[in-house]
Chains A and B, each alone.
Chain A
Amino acid sequence: MNKKREKTDRAAARMPSAILIIAAMAICLAAFFLAMIFGAADTSLRDVWLALTSGAKTPEISIIRELRLPREVACLLVGSALAVAGAIMQGVTRNPLADPGLFGLTAGAKAALAITLALIPGANYFYIMLACFAGAGLGTVLVFGIAALKRGGFSPLRIVLAGAAVSAFLFAVADGIGLYFKVARDVSMWTSGGLIGTTWSQIRIIAPFIGAGIVAAMFLARQLTLLSFDEEVATGLGQRTGLVKTLLFVIVAVLAGTSVALAGNLAFVGLMIPHMVRPFTGNDYRLIIPVSVLIGGAFMLAADTIGRTLQAPFETPIAAIIALLGLPFFLYVVRKGGRSFS
């Protein structure tokens, strides 16, 4: 492990962080424009540009502005939020398999969603988002609360198992409530609809929360780096680890909750992106987080573009594409983890 860390640090030294961030931005922008151009109705780069910068009103430009643009912005937001949430979780738990989907957060959000829809029929978007926060928070508390109660924490295996079991439980709660109050269809509309039909008004509610979460994560990035190496070192350097961890968990709950409210259950994004980013950034979270934001967004845009074009005009659900891309990655991480998982 140490040897690998040295290697990645050297790679990071070769590539100054400014260039790295610019490169990530370029990838993200490219993914954004590709996503805007390709789809059931192909548009031209010029239309995209006009839609973004002018007030022109042709059919193509309207499609872009009212249908495609909000959707791609949502992709960007969700990808960033999940990637940062995953990066934080991996740092805090020092578990390479941490991911909001695998650790029961999205299941918690779904359960809370079901409860909200059952108790407040026709709840508006803001309430639903709040419910998703609360649910993701509950999922976090269940999994990590259990981990924290045990001295010495958990092995990667046990925490993944705890996540799987808590997920199974919370999904069961969501199903049960959905059937009992006859809102199962509404719940599954929310959680499996993906990003189809995202509107500007939804984004206006959600974007500030995701933005705030990412900014807060940036502020805590230095503390997170310390924490990710060794908790005792962090304490020794004067860090109030309890406080920092709590803040980080709140950020994770906000980011994961908003993602579910916007896009439904998406596992693996939070797992993959930080792993993809680390070979270039090294282990400094001041760099991992911003690059994860950009690459996470780019990844979701790419997945969405594939989903829209693969069998156009029909949509392939983005969750299915991400699951297909994510599983090999998960297996790779398990393999790479070598002895620590055996």
Chain B
Amino acid sequence: MGASGIGKLPRWLIAFTAVCLFLMHLPVLVLIAFSFNASKFAVTWTGFTFGWYRRLLERDDILHALQASLIVGITATAIAVTLGTLIALALARHRFRGRTIYEGMMYVPIVTPEIVTGISLLVLFVFLRMPLGLSTIIIAHVAFCVPFVVVVVVARLAGMDENLEEAAMTLGADEVTTFFRITLPLLWPGILSAALLSFILSFDDFVITSLVAGSGSSTLPLVIYSMVRRNVEPSINAISALIVVATSVLLYVSDRMSRRNDPSHA
């Protein structure tokens, strides 16, 4: 039994996995390849150029949108992760009246179609006479990121040994010390995953953002969609390629960090 284990995968399985991975990543590879294409239309290859990357630097609209997306993504993630972690702790560690209803309601935003959420938020903001802009986008993003954070952190909490916290308290640590010395470090990989997930959800959201954005707050997806409608210029490929590279680096780093912190991988 033990001898048949890891490291001796059948060849066909390796080949199958390789083909799957290749097909999964092919569109991205094509996209990156065409960001170096001299032609304005991404179908025929007419020569190699860095021109579209240089053009990016001249496109103030794209750079502004990138800046807006980063501001929204980072702020919304910070708020959503804080709120979501606290909610997850309450749900997983405490028994209170209406807990099941509360938990159920947490999942409603996940299954609600985005267009419905977007329209409701727009009508709400207009009703409250809030000027549309970065702040309304951030509020909307927090609203749809929190449930995802809760799901991820609750799952992490479920796999955590509660005895460790009890042991710390038995040994004289108060609740606050226990939280910062025991619970939070153990929870960290979950929080990090939740943060990455909500950042990416926020960074590429289109439907909700398009409805709650106001003057001076176009995010990157809004600009890209609008460009696609008129004309797909390869500078879109260039910015997408940069995003793919940045995301890959981010994922690699976070993977390394969570491995180091996660005792089950040690």
Are A and B interaction partners?
no
